Structure 1
Amino acid sequence: MVDTRRRRTQEERSAAMRERLLDATIECLVAHGYTGTTTSKVVELAGVTRGAQVHHFPTKADLVTAAVRHLAVKRADAAKAQLAGLRDADDPVSAALDLLWEAHQGPVFDATMELWVASRSDPELRAHVSTVESLAASSYAEIDLEVFPDLAGQPAVRHFVYTAMDTIRGIMISSFVVADAEVIGKRWQRAKAHLHKLGTLLLAEV
């Protein structure tokens, strides 16, 4: 029997190796925090050789810088995938708020927060984080095109989306101290109720 499977090119193998290292970096950030993330731990999690890591990312700084961009792309891709269908929801404002909340959960966002916190005292890291953060944030800001198509582009609508994101991020940062998921969930429901009123008023202006 002839094996018809196509062999991967060197470029494809290299891209797969980079992806493997970057995903392991995200996993390491979540498990050990920024300071606890080391190239040796990333290599172990990725299941690759030290030589492979050095070939693609010679230093921890190179690895983390690439991971910052990797995270931004993942978040932007997730936003695009989730935006479809919001306009057809029974309650589009509630659906949009739920989408934003879900977008700020899970390991990808946990790793992002680790980098945010670490960048406060690391100017070089902060420069990289601030450069790519707008990519992910702007993707979710496009919610206004789906939920408020007739108001899209108006400052008040875009400000509503950013206010919702800022509120959610504040709640998530407080979860560092308050580890009770039930308490965090109640804080979000309280904030969501107020945000929903604001969003509903915006829709009424159409």
Structure 2
Amino acid sequence: MATGAQERVGRRTQEQRSAQTRRKLLDATVACLVDYGYAGTTTSKVAGRAGVTRGAQLHHFGSRQDLVSAAVQHLAAMRTAEAVAQLGAVRDSGDPVGALLELIWDLHDGPLFVASVELWVAARTDPVLREEVAAFERTVDGAVAGAAAGLFAPDVEREVLNFVYTAMDALRGILISGFIDPGSGRPRRRWDRACAVLRKAIDPAALVYRSAPAGD
């Protein structure tokens, strides 16, 4: 007969396996959005990409809508974590404006942004998805811009916040237009040109870093 400790270990192991399967399915959903677009992201493709059975997929997500909804939240968490992880590079830079602009580029130049765009386009004609994606974008954008602005002294925080939002808006337009000419390098050239203009919108001499909390 299993002891209480053995039962707890077995339950934890089962929960870990379940969480691992769920993570595989969500990662596979994001990958399918990038490779096949929203319309081509089917539950069977996701299960195959994740290397799990259809039964396992249905156990975790009973419908495509359930799967996509969870993937939206998963994508938001990944994009936010990626941004926070890179913020230290801004504080360590001798060129805070340039570091902010490069951080914004890095956060958008990759598959997570492509998957996000697929969701944006699909949400235009899907009211349920639109509500979820709108909440996801508020979370991600607020976290990225807020964390970046929070690096600086309170009297310039609003200025930095507006700068980051404006830069993200500009870059997203550049990258989306670049989808029609992949591999050309044009988006980066256009971004560098935009950065020259964006730099004039903020005074780097006014960007004083917020004091680090005691113990850091």
Instruction: State TM-score, norm by structure 1.
Output: 0.90
CA shift in 2, pair 1:205/1:69, >3 Å:
closer
Q: CA deviation at 1:50?
A: 0.3
Q: Contact between 2:89 and 2:99, CA under 8 Å: does it hold in 1?
A: no
Return the match for 1:183 from 177, 182, 186. 186
Structure 2 distance, partners of 1:120, 1:203, is 41
Shift in Å, 1:59: 0.6
Q: Distance in 1 between matches of 2:86 and 2:184?
A: 24
Q: Distance in 1 between matches of 2:183 and 2:17?
A: 42
Does residue 135 (structure 1) correspond to residue 145 (structure 2)? The answer is: no
Q: CA deviation at 1:53?
A: 0.4
**1:63 Cα deviation from its structure 2 partner:** 0.4
Is residue 42 from structure 1 mapped to residue 16 from structure 2 by the alignment? no
Of 171, 174, 178, 2:174 maps to: 171
2 CA distance for matches of 1:23 and 1:203? 42
Runs of 4+ in 1 over 4 A off after TM superposition: none
For the pair 1:27 / 2:31, whether they are aligned, the reply is yes
Number of corresponding residues = 198
Q: Secondary structure of the residue that 2:129 maps to in structure 1?
A: helix
Shift of 1:175: 1.3
Quick check: 2:47–2:57 contact (8 Å CA) kept in 1?
A: yes
User: Once the 2 structures are TM-superposed, how far is the Cα of residue 202 of structure 1 from its aligned partner?
Assistant: 5.7
Question: 22-31 or 129-138, which moves further after superposition?
Answer: 129-138
CA distance in structure 2 between the aligned counterparts of 1:139 and 1:109, rounded to whole angstroms: 16
Cα distance in 2 for partners of 1:205, 1:68 equals: 34
Q: In the alignment, which of 128, 136, 141 is matched to residue 124 of structure 1?
A: 128
Which of the residues 154, 161, 166 maps onto 2:164?
161
Deviations 1:66-105 (A, max 9, x none): 0000000001111111112412201111011000011001
What pairs with 1:80-91 in structure 2 (closer than 5 Å)? 80-91=84-95
The one-letter code matched in structure 2 to 1:121 is T
Corresponding position of 2:3: none
Question: Using the alignment, how far apart are the partners of 1:205 and 1:43 within structure 2?
Answer: 48
* Structure 1 unaligned regions, length at least 5: 1-5
**What are the equivalent positions in structure 2 for 1:64-83 lying under 5 Å apart?**
64-83=68-87
Q: 1:21 to 1:205 in 2, by over 3 A?
A: closer
TM-score (norm 2): 0.86
2:185 match: secondary structure: helix
Q: Aligned letter for 2:173?
A: G
Aligned to 2:6: none
**Using the alignment, how far apart are the partners of 2:64 and 2:176 within structure 1?**
25
1:144 touches 1:151 (CA, 8 Å); kept in 2? no
Partner of 1:53: 57
> In 1, Cα distance between the equivalents of 2:205 and 2:163?
11
The 8 Å contact of residues 72 and 132 in structure 2, kept in 1 or not, is answered as: yes
Deviations 1:11-56 (A, max 9, x none): 1111111100000001111000000000010011001000000000
Question: Pick from 115, 118, 130: which aligns with 1:114?
Answer: 118
Equivalent position of 2:102 in the other structure: 98
